[in-house]
């Protein structure tokens, strides 16, 4: 998986090709488009036309995330197991 930092505006992406984390939460399926600038990321969500700006330190964008089958692994977040998940992209 490669962290993506190219500056520009991006639209219509496939969840199997990109992973967008905001404040540690996967928000890929909620995002209509995003724009990377020098210091921040501007995001427009699917159900809202209002642009939201986040400091780059709060947004992680990865190309080619790997899908992990959780039948073989136990995943914890903040010391608690993630339940009701069949797979996860990392």
What confidence category does residue 1 fall into, taking pLDDT thresholds of 50, 70 and 90?
very low
> Tell me: the pLDDT tens digits for 7-26?
556 665 677 788 899 998 98
Domain that holds residue 44: 2-89
Model-level pTM?
A: 0.67
Cα separation, 31 vs 59, in Å, equals: 12
Q: What is the pLDDT of residue 76?
A: 76
For the segment 29-63, what is each residue's pLDDT rounded down to a tens digit? 899 888 888 889 999 998 888 999 999 999 988 88
The total domain count for the chain is 1
Q: How far is CA 76 from CA 49, 60, 73, 79, 88, in A?
A: 34, 19, 10, 6, 12
């Amino acid at each position: 998986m490669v962290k993506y930092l190219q500056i520009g505006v991006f639209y219509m992406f496939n969840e199997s090709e990109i992973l967008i984390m905001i404040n540690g939460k996967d928000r890929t399926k909620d995002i209509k488009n995003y724009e990377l600038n020098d210091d921040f990321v501007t995001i427009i969500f699917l159900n809202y036309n209002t642009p939201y700006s986040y400091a780059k330190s709060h947004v992680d964008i990865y190309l080619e995330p790997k899908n992990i089958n959780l039948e073989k692994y136990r995943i914890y977040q903040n010391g608690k197991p993630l339940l009701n998940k069949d797979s996860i992209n990392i």
